[in-house]
Amino acid sequence: MPAFPRLVRLFTPVAALLLVACGGSPAPAPTADAEAAADPGELNLYTTREPGLIQPLLDAFTAQTGTRVNTVFVRDGLLERVRAEGERSPADVLMTVDTGNLLDLVDAGQTRPVQSQVLADAIPAHLRGADGQWFALSLRDRILYADKDLALDGFTYEQLADPKWKGKVCIRSGQHPYNTSLIAAMIAHHGAEATETWLRGVKANLARKAAGGDRDVARDILAGICEIGIANAYYVGRMKNEAEGSEQRQWGDAIQVIRPTFAIDGGGTHVNISGAAVALHSPNRDNAVKLLEYLVSDEAQSLYAKANYEYPVKAGVELDPVVASFGPMQVDALPLARIAEHRRQASELVDRVGFDN
């Protein structure tokens, strides 16, 4: 038996758990020729996604195709890991969240292009790399959590800076990738100067220091600390599906959900993504493409919606009932890559206005 396949098997569950426990610290690099790892019956996935979220999709893929997925869960340092492994890396698919993380992999030369009509047909053009280097697999829309007793008929992101909300807004750190992505989108729509004015207005409206997580926004609305806040939609699905009487169920039941839009450029709701790319040195490239194509199938997209409460990238897929209750979503049409160009500028702006202070 070739040495490398034995090594690959070391990356299966036990090693994966060790990686999670160690925060994704790089394991010893493979020591055999990567070409020897090609196996028609398996592939190797490096992912930053939580095991409980992605495993049902991988199990379904294996059941349908017979192809085993050896999964390495990398909490941090995905780019550093594959770069350190170099051409001997066993990674076939690199999966993560946030457009910026995917583009970092692309910019570092750690991905290879894929031309697939299946992927092109399923994923709108503004949600994938034009050169086939990366693909969105699910959407994570940034929405408004609001006190359920508030009378609101629509909302724009720009309205977060309206003085009428002074002392009534809760949100997590401006430096969190979810928020730097939103601020970057605001820069792409309005320019840096107008966005700085807007961000200073949002800060002036904060009910508490920008901190905590998205679910804390719902918690603090229930506690009467704030009336509105910005957070990701899928957390609502999780909270509302918790057991009756649990804390998180109470948080979820305390809020109403509105999908904000930008006030210009035709409107649209800001989304971030989970996504994936084929690794530069993929030894099982055909299987890697097969997995990506499966993940945009109706079956997998429905699993994304029902297991993770994320929004499918493919049109026409049945939504989870909680997500469906938010109403139709018009996604901001700006290409994600264009938004990602402003990430650094957005981060610098957060510091300049002292948003997290």
Q: Do the annotations mark residue 235 as ligand-binding?
A: yes
Whether residue 311 is annotated as binding a ligand: the answer is no
Residue 92, sorted as left (phi over 0), alpha (psi -120 to 50) or beta, turns out to be: alpha
Q: Which residues of 310-323 are buried (b: 16+ CB within 10 A; e: fewer)?
A: bbbbbeebebbebb
Looking up tokens 């800001």, which residue turns up? Answer: 270
Handedness of CA 135, 138, 144, 150 (dihedral sign): positive
Closest of 313, 341, 338 to residue 136, by C-alpha: 313
Tell which residue, 77, 119, 75, has the closest CA to residue 275.
119
Residues 6+ apart with CB under 8 A from 320: 237, 305, 306, 309
116 burial (CB, 10 Å; 0-12 / 13-18 / 19+) is: middle
For the annotated binding site for Fe cation, the residues are: 234-235
For the annotated binding site, the residues are: 234-235
